[in-house]
Each structure stands twice: as structure tokens, then as C-alpha cells.
Chain A
Amino acid sequence: MIRKEAVRLIAKEIGNQPIISANGFMSRDLYETNEKESNFYMIGSMGLASSIGLGVALKNPRKKIYVFDGDGNILMNLGSLVTIGSLKPKNFIHIIFDNKVHESTGGQPTNSKIIELERIAEVAKFKTYKITKNEQIKKIFSKIKKENGPICILVKIEESSIRSIRVDISPPNIKSRFMKSLK
């Protein structure tokens, strides 16, 4: 499974709930496959999707907050897992799409094939799941609907040369739409 396909299928399961998606190809895939106002597309500030998601989750306890992260992205902010795991927000779902490379910058390797990210999340007190095939998506998402977070789902994906379009909404507008959707 490639990221674009995984993003499409998972965002469909999430429906209208808020998603904070990491910068680079992650946000572009989400924008092309499942554009909606409750998506916060990041452009820049790599590593911070989970932190922004935590802030949103803490202040919106009645909504489930989803973070779309990459392996390279979370590796830039591993401390975030410690902060989230300490606060234990019940409505926080962290989805890490792991292709073992920095695809947005040309496919340079991360070290996620040597160090298992789901085990780091586990130590940080996340409930963890792993998806390796698209048939597992429906089952895992119906299971986590009844569970309390923080939850981490590691989605193993393959590298791909398919490129989605750029997010062409201005950042202040991405923010305003997102804020309106939270109300």
C-alpha cells in the first residue's frame, strides 16, 4: 500500500472529524483525496503535527482528534510522545504513515526500519496498533471507535513516485476554516 491510498482509505473512515496533517506529501495526499474544512494542512514547521494535535485535543475533549504524521516527521519531535503519554488525552489518535524514508525530500532513509516506532509509542503509554495491509483498516478503525486514547496506529507503507497536488489554500484561510469547524 502506498501513502496516498492509505491516506484516502483512513480519512474516509475518519469522516468529518478533525485531522492535523504533517507538512510535505502527507498534507498534499490528504488535500487531493479527502479535502474538507476540518483538515489542518501543515506547510512547514516539520515535526509539530502531534503537538498541534495535542493542543486541539486538550481543548476539544468531546471531539476525536486525528494526527496524520510521517516517520521522518515524528522522529523530529519524539519528545512529543512523552508529553502526550504523560497527559493521556482520551481523544487523541496518532496515525504514523511509515515508509522508512523522507519521501518529500527525495527518499533519504530515516532510521525507522532499525528502531520500531510503535515500541517507542508503547513505552510512552499509547495503545498501539499496526496496519500493514489495506484490508485491516476497516477492522482497526471500528475497534478504536470504542477505545480511549492516546492511540497510536503505525501504518506501514511503501515508497511511491505518485505526487499529489499542492495545497493551494492560504495558510490563514486553512486556519480560519479549521477553527470554524471546531465550533
Chain B
Amino acid sequence: MNEKIQRQIFNILEKKGIKNFIGVPDSTMKHFIDEGLKKEKILITTREEEAIGIAAGISMSDEKSLVFMQNAGFANSLSTITSLIKLYEIPMILLIGWRGFLKDDAPEHEKIGEIQPELIKIIGLESKIIDEKNFKNVCDWAMVKLKKKKTIGLIIKRDFLD
């Protein structure tokens, strides 16, 4: 996803009421994170579970949060999603990079990239792939779900190699 749209997505979500952006960086969404860093709205944590825990505390204080992570971090977070977010019904947006989407990505991303769509489905996380064409509608969809107290996933494909 290009730089301009990544920055735009950050600004749309912020304008719509997401006040906290917490997580572990992913180069797939580095411009999104950079936009937040410029505005001093980003909290970088040591692990993804930690980010979800902080977002849970914020959500229970009636503020909206987004947690960003790589898909490796999504794999780290499975137990936190089942035994905290789902169990207590705590709403937040999970923005998850999709490495391994391209077949020739680095080897450590291949397996998780392959099973990611199914993993998201099995864990019962409602999600949409966000891209350069649909991003405005998907942001609207995410905010509607959040208002209904749902946790949802936004997936960004890794469509380049470095």
C-alpha cells in the first residue's frame, strides 16, 4: 500500500475517534505508524500481547484503541485474543500486516502467511482486507463495528519486497 494512503488511513481513523495507537512495528505499514509518530499518538510496546493488554485497559476506560502488529505478532496474540478480548468482550481494532502474502517473501513469513486467513476465521475475528481502493469504506465499517463493541481485524497485504 502506498505511503499517501497509509497516512490517510491513520488520519481517517484518528478523526473518527481512535485516540490510541499501540503495537509492535511492521514495515508493511511503516507510513501509517510514521504518521502517528509525527503526531505523538503511537505507543510502541515490547510484544503484541502487551499492546492488547494496554488497549484493553484503555477500552475499559471508555476510549477507543487500535493495536497494530505483524502477522507473526498475531500468532503471538492468539491466547490473549481468546482469553481476554473474546472472553471479556473488550472492543478494539487489530491492524495486522500480511507478510507471506507474496509467495517469494522471506522464508520465516511463508507458513504464517499461508495459514493467516484461516487462522483469523477459526479464532472468530471478523476482518476485512484494507487496500488502496476500499480504505474509506473499510474504515467506516471498522468504526461501526467498534461502536457495537466488537473487536475486528483490518488486514494490510505486504505487496512489495525489500
A145 within 8 A of B: no
**Contact A44–B87 (Cβ < 8 Å):** yes
Q: How far is the CA of A50 from the CA of B80 in the complex (A)?
A: 14
CB closest residue in chain A, given B81 = A45
Which of B43, B58, B83 contacts A43 (CB under 8 A)? B83
**Contact B53–A60 (Cβ < 8 Å):** no
Give the number of residues in A that approach B within 8 Å (Cβ atoms).
33
**Contact B88–A171 (Cβ < 8 Å):** yes
Given A45-B53, A171-B87, A40-B60 contact (CB < 8 Å): yes
Which of B43, B47, B56, B83 contacts A79 (CB under 8 A)? B47
Chain B residues positioned under 8 Å from A87 (CB to CB):
43
Which of A48, A59, A171, A178 contacts B53 (CB under 8 A)? A48
**Contact B58–A58 (Cβ < 8 Å):** yes
Chain A residues positioned under 8 Å from B90 (CB to CB):
175
Chain A interface, DSSP helix/strand/loop, else mixed: helix
**Contact A59–B63 (Cβ < 8 Å):** yes
B134 within 8 A of A: no
Which of A43, A59, A77 contacts B49 (CB under 8 A)? A77
**Contact A44–B79 (Cβ < 8 Å):** yes
CB closest residue in chain A, given B83 = A44
Q: How far is the CA of A83 from the CA of B49 in the complex (A)?
A: 13
B126 within 8 A of A: no
B139 within 8 A of A: no
A51 within 8 A of B: yes
Which of B45, B55, B79, B83 contacts A83 (CB under 8 A)? B45
B54 within 8 A of A: yes
Given A54-B54, A77-B47, A59-B61 contact (CB < 8 Å): yes
CB closest residue in chain A, given B87 = A171
Chain A residues positioned under 8 Å from B82 (CB to CB):
44
Which of A60, A79, A171, A172 contacts B61 (CB under 8 A)? A60
A14 within 8 A of B: no
Q: When each residue 54-91 of chain B gets 1 if its CB lies under 8 Å from chain A and 0 otherwise, what string results?
A: 11111111110000000000000001101110011110
Chain B residues positioned under 8 Å from A53 (CB to CB):
57
Which of B55, B80, B87 contacts A55 (CB under 8 A)? B55
**Contact A56–B57 (Cβ < 8 Å):** yes
Q: How far is the CA of A50 from the CA of B52 in the complex (A)?
A: 12
- In angstroms, how far is the closest chain A Cβ from the Cβ of B134? 30
B137 within 8 A of A: no
Q: What is A's interface to B at a CB cutoff of 8 Å?
A: 20, 40, 42-45, 47-48, 50-60, 77, 79-80, 82-83, 87, 171-172, 174-175, 178-179, 182-183
Pick 25 A–B contacts, CB within 8 A, sort by A. A40-B60, A42-B84, A43-B87, A44-B82, A44-B87, A47-B49, A48-B84, A51-B50, A51-B51, A51-B53, A51-B56, A51-B57, A52-B56, A52-B57, A54-B53, A54-B57, A55-B53, A58-B54, A59-B57, A59-B62, A59-B63, A80-B53, A83-B43, A172-B89, A182-B60
Lowest 10 A-B CB distances belong to which pairs? A55-B57, A79-B46, A51-B53, A44-B83, A59-B61, A48-B53, A45-B84, A56-B57, A55-B54, A55-B58
Q: What is B's interface to A at a CB cutoff of 8 Å?
A: 43, 45-47, 49-63, 79-80, 82-84, 87-90
